[in-house]
Amino acid sequence: MKLRLLAALPLLATLTASAHPGHGPMESSTSHWLTSPDHLLPALGLGAVILAGALVWKRTAPLRSAARSKKAGSPL
């Protein structure tokens, strides 16, 4: 349980990060969004968390498949 909480912390930190006050996330131009660290860093953090989750999912796929086969009574 503690490991899952530890793994969720970067996601929670990214999702709770907010841009500077003054305008909404879609009220500015793309160039402002890309050059402002207040906008870009949370987006990059969320992308990193999604990538890490996908890599973990891919790495554990054989384990999930083996468990499913064992549960179904497959000889493999």
| Model pLDDT for residues 16-69, shown as the tens digit of each residue | 666 566 776 677 788 887 888 877 887 888 888 888 888 888 888 887 777 777
Asked if 38 and 19 count as a contact pair (C-beta separation under 8 A), the reply is yes
Radius of gyration of the chain (CA): 19
Four-CA torsion 57, 59, 60, 66, nearest 10 degrees: 130
Question: Long-range pairs for 52-57 at CB < 8 Å and ≥24 separation?
Answer: 52/10
Q: How much is the pLDDT for 3? A: 65
pLDDT band at 76; cut points 50, 70, 90: low
**What pTM was computed for the model?**
0.56
